Amino acid sequence: MSLPSAGSPARHAATVLAPFAVVAAAHIGPAVTWLPGLRRRFFPGLAGTGRPDHIALTFDDGPDPLSTPRFLDVLDVLGVRATFFVLGESVVRYPALARETAERGHELAVHGWTHDRPWLPDPARDTADLTRAVHAVWQVAGRRPRWYRPPYGILTSGRWAAARRSGLRPVLWSTWGRDWTAGATPASVRMTVEAGLRGGGTLLLHDSDRLSAAGCWHSALGALPGIVDGCHAAGLSVGPLAEHGTGRPAETPGYRAPAEPPPAARRGGSGQRPSW
C-alpha cells in the first residue's frame, strides 16, 4: 500500500488535525479511571478506598424536593450519616433542602454545576462551573466542601485541574447499586451492592431520579436499610467520606484529615464483607 505523498490532501489533513488529536487525548485521557478494576488497583484514593472497618455511604444528583427528604428520614431512623454529592444549580434552586441536609448531620460535596458530559475541552468553563458550585455549597452548608465527583464519573484533565484549583479532592466509588435503571428494584440494588462491597469501600447510590429512570430512587431507598444492617452485622461502620480516611492529606490543597474515630467504630477486620 502506498503512503500519501508529502503534498497530498490526506497528508495535509493529517498534519492539520494532529494537534487537535493530541489535545483531545490529553483532555479525555484521565477518564480511563472510570474503569473500576483499573481505578481500584492503581488509584485507590480515587476509588474511595478508606479504613478497612468503614463503608463510605454516598448519594449523587440531589438535592431533590420529592426524594431527598425521604432519604434523610430513613437515614435518621438508621442513625447513619452520609455524603451527598449535589449539583450546584439544584442547591441554588432548593437552598432550604440543601441546608437541611447539612443541618441533619450529612456532608455536602460537589457533583458539578450541571450534570453534563464533557466531550469538548473547555478548562475555563470547568473552573467557572466548579467555583460556582463550591460557593453555592459553602453558602448553604456553612463550610467549604472537600470532595468532588464528576457527573457520570468522567474525570477529564480540565475537571481534574479545576478541582485542584478549587481545593476539592476527586473521589469516584468502589461499588454502586445500579439504582438509576428502569428495571432496578430494592432486591436488585442490594444484590448488586452485595457483589462488590467490602470494608474500606465507597458506595454510590442516587437520591434523585432527575437524570435517570422515573421513580428509580424508590429502589435505592428500599434497599438502604438492608445494606446498612448488613454492614453493621459484619462489624463495619457506615458514614460519610469525612470519616472514611481515604487518600493522603497532602494530595489536596486545604485538606484536613478527619479525627480519629471513637473506639466503638474501630471494629471489624480488613476486607470485611457485610453480612447480607
Long-range contact list for 94-98, CB < 8 A, 24+ apart? 94/63, 94/64, 94/65, 95/139, 95/140, 97/62, 97/63, 97/65, 97/68, 97/69, 98/63, 98/137, 98/140, 98/141
Given a cut of 60, whether residue 247 has pLDDT beyond it is no
Q: What percent of the chain stands above pLDDT 90?
A: 62
**Residue 151 belongs to domain spanning:** 32-249
Identify residue 96 by its one-letter amino acid code: A
Question: Residue 262 CB: number of other CB atoms within 10 A?
Answer: 8
pLDDT confidence band for 258 (50 / 70 / 90): very low
pLDDT confidence band for 186 (50 / 70 / 90): very high
Residue 229 is a catalytic residue = no
Which residue has better confidence, 269 or 163? 163
Residue 109 contacts residue 149 (beta carbons within 8 Å): yes
Question: Is residue 269 a part of any domain in this protein?
Answer: no
pLDDT, one tens digit per residue, over 5-24 is 556 654 544 443 334 333 44
Question: Is residue 54 a part of any domain in this protein?
Answer: yes
Mean pLDDT across 70-76: 98
Question: Is residue 187 a part of any domain in this protein?
Answer: yes
For 127, phi then psi, to 5°, come to -65, -45
Given a cut of 70, whether residue 90 has pLDDT beyond it is yes
The total domain count for the chain is 1
Question: Is residue 145 a part of any domain in this protein?
Answer: yes
pLDDT confidence band for 99 (50 / 70 / 90): very high
Given a cut of 90, whether residue 276 has pLDDT beyond it is no
Q: How far apart are CA 187 and CA 47, in angstroms?
A: 25
Give the CATH number of the domain where residue 81 resides.
3.20.20.370
Given this model, what pLDDT does residue 252 score? 38
pLDDT confidence band for 192 (50 / 70 / 90): very high
Mean pLDDT of the chain: 82
Given this model, what pLDDT does residue 20 score? 36
Given this model, what pLDDT does residue 115 score? 86
Given this model, what pLDDT does residue 8 score? 64
Question: Is residue 148 a part of any domain in this protein?
Answer: yes
**Catalytic-labelled residue, pool 54, 111, 115, 206:** 206
Mean pLDDT across 179-185: 96
**Catalytic-labelled residue, pool 53, 60, 64, 207:** 60
Mean pLDDT across 140-147: 96
Question: Is residue 254 a part of any domain in this protein?
Answer: no
Mean pLDDT across 149-170: 91
Given a cut of 80, whether residue 122 has pLDDT beyond it is no
Question: Is residue 3 a part of any domain in this protein?
Answer: no
60-73 in b/e form (b: 16+ CB < 10 A) is bbbbbeebbbbbbe
Strand partners, 176: 204
Given this model, what pLDDT does residue 157 score? 86
Mean pLDDT across 165-170: 94
Please give the angle made by the CA atoms of 265, 43 and 223, to the nearest 5 degrees.
Answer: 50
Q: What percent of the chain stands above pLDDT 70?
A: 74
Q: Which residues contact 229 (CB under 8 A, 6 or more apart)?
A: none
Identify residue 235 by its one-letter amino acid code: G
